């Protein structure tokens, strides 16, 4: 097993359907520079700050991705319902999730632009599930994504779910984004 396909482990953060890019990173927080290390951290602090409690997938309402003044989350895998990342085409949406510590998202479907921004920027790994696992997984469950065998393991509930292989984007994802892939294959200097 290569380093790039090692299992991804961490706590689940569960969301409902149609989480849009304005909820992932509200426009009011797009004022920070991604190039400035201190300002960049603020994207992690405000990641998912626009998600209303009815989309959180939690009966008790929304749990913030990051706590208080933290810029990195204790959660590392988002499990969501359909149409994750719909809305505007802002590249900041997958970037802020990566900055917050999210390594992967598992959902039955993505908005195309969010999916491509995630892959092309090398921000996080967008896995697709066969079923809506947001009804099965709970926020805080310990998960493991077995990339080699295309399985999501819920270690807390001792359950396993098949997920779709990354397919043609796998090489781009594992290279760290489209530009790193192009450099690796001599397409750009």
Q: What is the pLDDT along the chain (189 residues), one digit of tens a residue?
A: 555 689 999 999 999 999 999 999 999 999 999 999 999 999 999 999 888 876 555 544 567 888 888 899 999 999 999 999 999 878 899 999 999 999 999 999 999 999 999 999 999 999 999 999 999 999 999 999 999 999 999 999 999 999 999 998 999 998 999 999 999 988 987
Q: Which of 91, 130, 118, 124 is nearest to 13 (CA)?
A: 124
Name residue, tokens 């290390």: 37
pLDDT at 57: 54
In a domain, 2, yes or no: no
- Pick the closest to residue 109 from 83, 86, 142, 139 (CA basis): 83
pLDDT at residue 3, as a whole number = 52
Q: Note whether residue 84 is domain-resident.
A: yes
Domain-located, residue 55: yes
**Do the domain assignments include residue 123?**
yes
**Residues spanned by the domain of 114:** 7-184
- Residue 54: the pLDDT is 65
Q: State pTM to two decimals.
A: 0.92
Residue 101 placed within a domain: yes
In this predicted structure, what is the pLDDT of residue 2? 55
Q: Are 108 and 58 in contact (CB under 8 A)?
A: no
Number of domains in the chain: 1
The CA distance from 122 to 117, in Å, is: 8
Q: Is residue 72 part of a domain?
A: yes
Decide if 189 is inside a domain: no
CATH number (domain holding residue 23)? 3.20.19.10
Residue 93 lies in a domain: yes
For tokens 């939690």, what's the residue? 58
What is the three-class DSSP state of 70?
coil
């Amino acid at each position: 097993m290569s380093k790039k396909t090692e299992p991804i482990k961490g706590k689940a953060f569960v969301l409902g359907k149609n989480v849009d890019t304005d909820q992932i990173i509200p426009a009011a927080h797009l004022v920070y520079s991604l190039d400035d290390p201190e300002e960049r951290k603020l994207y992690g602090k405000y990641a998912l700050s626009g998600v209303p409690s009815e989309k959180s997938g939690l009966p008790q309402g929304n749990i913030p991705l990051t706590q208080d003044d933290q810029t990195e989350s204790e959660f590392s895998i988002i499990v969501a319902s359909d149409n994750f990342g719909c809305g505007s085409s802002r590249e900041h949406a997958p970037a802020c999730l990566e900055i917050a510590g999210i390594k992967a998202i598992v959902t039955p479907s993505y908005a195309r632009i969010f999916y491509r921004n995630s892959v092309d920027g090398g921000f996080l790994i967008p896995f697709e599930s066969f079923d809506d696992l947001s009804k099965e997984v709970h926020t805080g469950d310990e998960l493991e994504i077995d990339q080699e065998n295309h399985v999501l393991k819920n270690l807390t509930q001792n359950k396993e779910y098949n997920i779709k292989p990354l397919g043609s984007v796998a090489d781009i994802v594992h290279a760290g984004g489209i530009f790193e892939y192009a450099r690796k294959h001599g397409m750009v200097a």
